[in-house]
Amino acid sequence: MAPFMLCDDCQSSLPSHDYIHDTEVSKNPSSTPHLQDKQSAEGHAADVQRAYLQYDEARQKAVLLVQRLELEMEAMKAYMAGVRSIHAPFRRLVPEVLLRIFTFAVVDADYSLRDLSSTPVVLGQVCSLWRELVCSSPHLWASIHVRRPVPGLNEAASRDGFSRAIQHHLLRSAARPLSLKVGHYADGEAVVEPLLLESHRWEDLTVENHAVFARLSDPTFNLSSLTTLCVPGVLRRALRLENATALRNYKGTRVNAFLPWAQLTSATLAVSSPRDCFQSMKRCQNAVSFTGEGLCCLRTDELLSVDDMLALPNLRELRLRSEDVRTSLAEHIFPHLTVPRLSSLEFGACKTHLPWIWHSKTSLQALQDCVERSRATLTSLTLSYVKIKSADLKELLGTLPFLEHLCVADEGGDRSLINLAVNTLTPAARSGRGDMCIPRLRDLELRMRWNPNCEKLTRLLRVRSVANSGALFSLTLRLHEEGWVADWARRDLLDLLPSLVVKVGMPK
């Protein structure tokens, strides 16, 4: 046998031992003539031992060589990835575009400021370019969300992490207006006090913290920059902000809230009845957007009289959401309103088992009279868990010829409001485009728990989409569900979209 070659380049090799591979010798070494005496056998064993050690030394060197080669190869992979990423698409984005993306990631994301690993810090760890951009952009650090402590950490460690993160954000944000979310668990002087000292910079505040809430009503507390306030839950003590001259947006309850109502442009209030809703809108005379949430069961003393009329000259967006209502509400609200600039209307319920009741004649007549009396042009309509018949829905949409945006929210399924809306919006095959309901519809949004029928959506898009000479520009399918059901529905939805594109076809 030829010598065992270790390296072809340097011709390094190990001696070959043919007798080891000889089957007869390996089975019965005593049959070999030169091993008959003891001295010869011991000498031969010593030679084999030396060869074994020589092979073992070569094996160890080979193992070390393989490990070193693997490390070098991993380093080369990382280097090649870095070289290829030099011309990656994200590196071609100008700083202004990157900052816009970062703003969405930081301001709109619902992250919790628990320690120094907050969103701006994480963005700055991607590369030197991003780090320089993040550190030189104070507005990215002006969003501070303090909610729960980190699970598994003791209270002292969690509070220390909050304190360090807050100080870091306040330092980086310079003099920028602050957007704050302060939850129940942000207690402790080290956490709250630095925020209170910067109250003159507060612009957007969501507060559930007792220490911060107690200071809001202090007349000496500087809230000169506060424009948006959200107070979830019930106010157990009076909230007095009559001197908040910059306040324009409020979300919370009307009870125990003393605000400059006349200057609000947007109000989202918890209301319990049509009368409560009426009084709330009356306070917000100059509001551009009003949302009444939590309309409950009707009692005689909660109804409005015939003489109760309210004119809202600036109102453009009206949202009414019921809760635990077993009778129609449209007849008790719309006849009392005059809204000449109203362009967006939303009404419905929060739960499918207690939907918003729609009566065939009286509900439609109440809404139609309100629109005609106001001389308003509705361009956007949202129906959420509304119990309505197919003929009534067609009649409702037929009275809104200028509608451009329609949003429907329901469970989904064959008998759902979403299915009724899709059927109503799809003209019969014989009628053609001339008999089309709301012909100016540009945006259709469907919010559901289950996926819609693919064939029905296909027929709708073939007639209405821009790709087929229609007016429908966008279709939004949104799932509102959590847990494994959402994951299952989301996978089905991802399978549905390519199928729609193939069946509807692309623009010619």
User: DSSP secondary structure string, 18-71?
Assistant: GGGG-HHHHH-GGGSGGGSSHHHHHHHHHHHHHHHHHHHHHHHHHHHHHHHHHH
Shared domain for 139 and 217, answered yes or no, is: yes
Taking only the tens place, the pLDDT of each residue in 259-280 is 999 999 999 998 888 888 888 9
Which residues touch 358 (CB under 8 Å, ≥6 apart)?
A: 328, 330, 364, 386, 387, 388, 389, 392, 396
- What is residue 232's predicted lDDT score, i.e. its pLDDT? 85
Confidence of residue 156 (pLDDT cuts 50, 70, 90): low
Asked, for residue 330, whether it belongs to a domain, the answer is: yes
Q: Rounded to an integer, what distance in angstroms lies between the CA atom of residue 74 and that of residue 59? A: 23
Shared domain for 135 and 226, answered yes or no, is: yes
Q: Which of 49-58, 185-194, 317-326, 360-369 has the highest mean pLDDT?
A: 360-369
Closest by Cα among 234, 111, 358 to 121? 111
Q: Rounded to an integer, what distance in angstroms lies between the CA atom of residue 314 and that of residue 312? A: 6
Tell me if 256 sits within 8 A of 276, measured CB to CB: no
- Kind of pairing between the strands at 4-7 and 12-14: antiparallel
With 80 as the cut, is the pLDDT of residue 363 above it?
yes
Shared domain for 109 and 238, answered yes or no, is: yes
Shared domain for 234 and 121, answered yes or no, is: yes
* Residue pointed to by tokens 């100080």: 167
Confidence of residue 89 (pLDDT cuts 50, 70, 90): confident
Confidence of residue 375 (pLDDT cuts 50, 70, 90): very high
- What is residue 494's predicted lDDT score, i.e. its pLDDT? 64
State residue 363 phi and psi, 5-degree precision. Answer: -65, -45
Shared domain for 200 and 318, answered yes or no, is: no
Q: Which domain holds residue 360?
A: 264-377
How many residues are present in the chain?
508
Shared domain for 53 and 141, answered yes or no, is: no
Q: Which of 200-214, 229-243, 332-346 has the highest mean pLDDT?
A: 332-346
Of 30, 62, 85, the position where a domain reaches its end is 85
Shared domain for 194 and 333, answered yes or no, is: no
Asked, for residue 213, whether it belongs to a domain, the answer is: yes
Token digits of residue 72: 């070098």
- What is residue 221's predicted lDDT score, i.e. its pLDDT? 87
Other Cβ atoms closer than 10 A to 444: 24
Q: Rounded to an integer, what distance in angstroms lies between the CA atom of residue 19 and that of residue 37? A: 18
Q: Which of 205-219, 236-250, 291-305 has the highest mean pLDDT?
A: 236-250
Asked, for residue 216, whether it belongs to a domain, the answer is: yes
Asked, for residue 292, whether it belongs to a domain, the answer is: yes
Confidence of residue 242 (pLDDT cuts 50, 70, 90): confident
Shared domain for 489 and 373, answered yes or no, is: no
- Kind of pairing between the strands at 202-207 and 178-182: parallel
Asked, for residue 505, whether it belongs to a domain, the answer is: yes
Shared domain for 58 and 104, answered yes or no, is: no
Asked, for residue 395, whether it belongs to a domain, the answer is: no
Q: What mean pLDDT value characterizes the chain?
A: 80
Detail the DSSP E strand segments found in 379-489. Answer: 380-384, 386-387, 405-409, 443-448, 474-479
Other Cβ atoms closer than 10 A to 5: 11
Taking only the tens place, the pLDDT of each residue in 118-129 is 778 888 888 888
Structural domain total, the chain: 4
- What is residue 247's predicted lDDT score, i.e. its pLDDT? 94
Taking only the tens place, the pLDDT of each residue in 385-413 is 998 998 999 999 989 989 999 999 987 76
Asked, for residue 2, whether it belongs to a domain, the answer is: no
Which DSSP symbol is given to 385?
A: S
Asked, for residue 77, whether it belongs to a domain, the answer is: yes
Chain-centre distance of CA 172, in angstroms? 26
